Amino acid sequence: MKKILLINPKSGFASFTFNEPLVLGVLAALTPDDYKIEFIDENFEPFTYRECDLVAITSSTSAINRAYHIAEQYNKNGIPTIIGGIHVSYLPEEATKYFTSVVVGDAEGVWHTLLKDFENNSLKKIYENLDFKNRYIVAPKRSIFKKYKYGAASIETSRGCTGSCDYCSIHALYHNRRHTRPIEDIVKDLETIDKKVVFFTDDNFIGNFRDKDRIKTILEALIKFDKKWAAFCTLDIVKHPDLLELFQKSGCVILYIGIETDQIDTLITIKKPINKRVLGDLSLKDCLKIIHGYKISVMGFLIFGFDTDQSIDEMYLRMERIDKSGIDWYVIFLLTPIPGSQIFFNLRDENRIIKNNYPKDWEQYNFTNSVFTPKNFSPEELNEFFIKTNTYYYNQKNTLKRFMRTLISTKSLKSTTYLYLWAINNYSNVRGYWHMKIFQFFVKIFLK
Could you read off the pLDDT of 245-297 as tens digits, one per residue?
999 999 999 999 999 999 999 999 999 999 999 999 999 999 999 999 999 99
Please tell me the least confidently modeled range out of 20-34, 78-92, 321-335, 434-448: 434-448
Residue 448 pLDDT > 60: no
**Could you tell me if residue 195 is inside a domain?**
no
**Going edge to edge, which strands form the sheet with 228-233?**
153-155, 197-200, 228-233, 252-260, 297-304, 329-334
**Average pLDDT score over residue span 2-18:** 88
Task: Pick the closest to residue 378 from 387, 370, 369, 386 (CA basis).
Answer: 370
Sign of CA dihedral 167, 173, 175, 180: negative
In-domain check, residue 180: no
Sign of the dihedral defined by the CA atoms of residues 90, 93, 97, 102, in that order: positive
Do 227 and 120 lie in one domain? The reply is no
Domain residues for the domain of 51 are 2-130
Residue 173 lies in a domain: no
pLDDT in tens, 197-221: 999 999 999 998 888 999 999 999 9
What would the DSSP string read from start to end of 163-211?
---TT--HHHHTTT-EEEPPHHHHHHHHHT--SSEEEE--SSTTGGGTT
Which of 130, 155, 177 terminates a domain? The answer is 130
Q: What is the pLDDT of residue 447?
A: 59
Q: Which amino acid is at 292?
A: H
227, 106: one domain: no
Backbone phi and psi for residue 31, each to the nearest 5 degrees, phi listed first? -85, 130
pLDDT of 404 reads 92
Phi, psi of 301 (to 5 degrees): -105, 125
Q: Are residues 428 and 323 in the same domain?
A: yes
First to last CA, the chain: 39
Is the separation of the CB atoms in 41 and 15 below 8 Å? no
Assign residue 40 the CATH number of its domain: 3.40.50.280
* pLDDT 10s digits, 126-158: 999 867 667 789 999 999 999 999 999 999 999
Q: Are residues 416 and 288 in the same domain?
A: yes
pTM summary value: 0.94
Quickly state the pLDDT bin for 4 (edges 50, 70, 90): very high
Q: Is 315 helix (H, G, I), strand (E, B) or coil?
A: helix
Say yes or no: 101 and 230 in one domain.
Answer: no
**Residue where a domain stops, chosen among 107, 130, 153:** 130
27 domain-assigned: yes
Separation in Å, CA 165 to CA 45, 205, 245, 368: 35, 17, 28, 20
Per-residue pLDDT, averaged over 76-104, amounts to 97
DSSP H or E run through 66: helix 64-75
pLDDT band at residue 431 using 50, 70 and 90 as cut-offs: confident
Which pLDDT score is estimated for 337? 97
**In the prediction, which pLDDT does 423 show?**
85
Strands across the sheet containing 126-129: 35-41, 2-8, 54-58, 81-84, 101-105, 126-129
Cα distance between residue 6 and residue 17, in whole Å? 17
Mean confidence (pLDDT) of the chain: 94
Of the residues 102, 130, 158, the one at which a domain ends: 130
Phi, psi of 447 (to 5 degrees): -95, 5
Each residue's pLDDT tens digit, 325-353: 999 999 999 999 999 999 999 999 999 99
Residue 13: per-residue pLDDT = 66
Radius of gyration of the chain (CA): 22
Strands 81-84 and 101-105: parallel
Estimate the crossing angle of helix 284-292 against helix 273-281, to 10 degrees.
Answer: 90
| Domain count across the chain | 2
Strands 297-304 and 252-260: parallel
Q: What is the pLDDT of residues 21-73, one digit of tens each?
A: 999 999 999 999 999 999 999 999 999 999 999 999 999 999 999 999 999 99
